[in-house]
Amino acid sequence: MISKTCGYAIRGIVFLALEQNKHRKHGILEIAEDLQIPQHFLGKILQDLVRRGIINSIKGPHGGFFVNAKTIDTPLIEVVEAIDGLGIFKKCFLGREECSSTNPCPLHDEFDGCRSAIFKTFENLKIADLVTKIDNGDSYLSLNKEFATEI
């Protein structure tokens, strides 16, 4: 559905949002190790998010990435749009160039419900909601056993 890159972006933002109370910045190396995402690749993704104003960063010693007030209120769809674009919600299931209710493929109607359910979920969920889930111990950002069991 969404690209791996986009998943990395969301996890990166949520990681920063989780740590926002500590009022400190996080270096790319720390974030990447914690989330087990290739460092430089994640770096580029976060830089992209900074350019788009979704997160912030400061260079130099004691610099790093951090969230701003707006960040935690950002709907996921905004991140998806920034990284993958909204086109992903219009792709034909059977690989035709176009697919719409006026010229549907034989799977169009079958999956249209799912498609819009997913879209709406991304519209409704905010970064804050994912933070809550993780704070509650209902879900995890990384697979690290320590993370999963340190409750």
Residue 12 CB burial class (10 angstroms; 0-12, 13-18, ≥19): buried
> What mask of x and - would describe binding to DNA in positions 21 to 50, judged by CB under 7 A?
----xxxxx-------xxxxx-xx-xx--x
Structure tokens at 149: 């069991």
Residue 137 CB burial class (10 angstroms; 0-12, 13-18, ≥19): exposed
59 contacts DNA (rule: CB under 7 A): yes
Q: Is the dihedral of CA 93, 96, 102, 104 positive or negative?
A: negative
Residue with tokens 């519209």: 123
Nearer to DNA by Cβ, of 58 and 117: the residue is 58
Looking at 22, 69, 97, 150, which residue binds its own copies (CB under 8 A)?
97
Residues found near DNA in the complex (CB under 7 A): 3-5, 8, 25-29, 37-41, 43-44, 46-47, 50-51, 57-65
Binding site for its own copies (CB under 8 A): 1-2, 4, 7-8, 10-11, 14, 36-37, 92-98, 103-111, 113-114, 117-118, 121, 125, 129-130, 133-134, 138-143, 148
